[in-house]
Chain A
């Protein structure tokens, strides 16, 4: 038995609730540190940034599930819903910190969404994820059939918008956000690679 099989077997033993619980820990831990003055001298920005980064990481992790299966034989499919929902959870947390703790004023929140392109882009990304979060349950999968798969392709533009949002909000062309955006494009690019045929192609006689 190869390493891949061994890892796949280990993955099958991970209870899904552990993914939810484990990924909730950084959110709680950072919030706790922020209220206790342990997240630096600008806790609002630090918390906003932390939640935004987790959202981006988990979106990327969710996008990696298919290529990991196809190119490395790793099967994380049964964990994908929990990863995706936790990505959405961090997007919402990021948005809440921004609106309530950072901007603080409803009129300014609306003005920012309309006037500031990077915020508009971030909000569009969030809006695209809402129907995905709402339909991330067995009932919707059964009910929607083939259109469920089509709908959930919205995660591609949402991830790109998230990456662009990060590149645009920093001062100057900084390396870290550009790396995430490049990674997102690279993962999406993998999907364009031609699929290897399952059966040997017929040779002319």
Chain B
């Protein structure tokens, strides 16, 4: 409910990045660590058929076929800011459905507090996983209330086209008020749990990547400032833009963190 108002509040005067910018500049380490590797290498990923295993504390656990699943969901356009922890940003017109709709469909058992996500791991299709840059498979997690928030979506496309492989085909998470690495790609498993789930970057360097990783201009990354960001697509001489609290979605999500010390829980 209230999706229309949420979308309006989050997307005032936002100019979306163009298709090439969004699809040629990606972080998807399973296909290589440079920004241009994923666009070059990800064509090898087989995305049809695709299914998602949903397990843990749910009423209807099982392996769900993605095509059937998508049909029973309401897909809509969401124009969101996308802020990478590396201090660059884009504006992306995602097509997707609310994660809450999916979780309601499978039924979340009382006592569940977190949602864990897992990316597909196929060494034969993913040249980057032969190096242990991260502890594969890529995993991420959200608190249940974050997962149920109407801004949190499962995206299946961009600009009305199916999700390109390098952007996380066929289905990925998008949590617009968190740093981009929380928005896990090519999801094959969703687990409801009562414990804080494993998160890959948090595991790799807990000092630099917190479990929450909410966009916050007042909490620096240990190696760089998060106060401002470079909008992708600008010229060589473009000015940086100030980073907004919760990436500009403060009105919608600040209440989730009421009373929490956001410097300690970064």
Contacts and interface: CB of A to CB of B under 8 A. Distances in A.
A186 to B, nearest CB: 20
Given A40-B36, A41-B21, A43-B235, A116 B224 contact: yes
B225 A40 contact: no
A23 B97 CA distance: 52
Contacts of A115: 220
Contacts of B133: 172-174
A111 B237 contact: no
Given A40-B36, A174-B33, A35 B235 contact: yes
Contact of A172 (B17, B29, B240): B29
A34 B230 contact: no
The interface residues of chain B, by DSSP majority, are classed as: loop
A101 interface: yes
B233 interface: yes
Max count, chain A CB within 10 A of own CB: residue among B35, B223, B230? B223
A118 B223 contact: yes
A41 B25 contact: yes
B24 interface: yes
Given A112-B224, A168-B223, A172-B204, A42 B230 contact: yes
B131 A104 contact: no
Contacts of A198: none
Contacts of A42: 25, 35, 88, 230, 232
Contact of B35 (A40, A43, A102): A40
A42 B36 CA distance: 11
Max count, chain B CB within 10 A of own CB: residue among A40, A111, A171? A171
B189 to A, nearest CB: 23
Interface of B: 17, 20-21, 24-25, 29, 33, 35-36, 86, 88, 131, 133-134, 204-205, 220, 222-225, 227, 230, 232-233, 235-240
30 contacts: A35-B235, A35-B236, A37-B235, A40-B24, A40-B25, A40-B36, A41-B24, A41-B25, A41-B232, A42-B88, A42-B230, A42-B232, A43-B236, A44-B230, A101-B236, A101-B237, A102-B230, A108-B227, A111-B225, A112-B225, A116-B224, A117-B223, A170-B33, A171-B33, A171-B86, A172-B29, A172-B133, A172-B205, A173-B133, A175-B131
Given A112-B224, A116-B223, A118-B223, 13 more contacts: A34-B236, A40-B25, A41-B17, A41-B25, A42-B25, A43-B236, A44-B230, A45-B88, A115-B220, A170-B33, A172-B33, A172-B133, A173-B133
User: What 5 A-B pairs are tightest by C-beta distance, nearest first?
Assistant: A172-B133, A41-B21, A41-B25, A43-B236, A34-B236
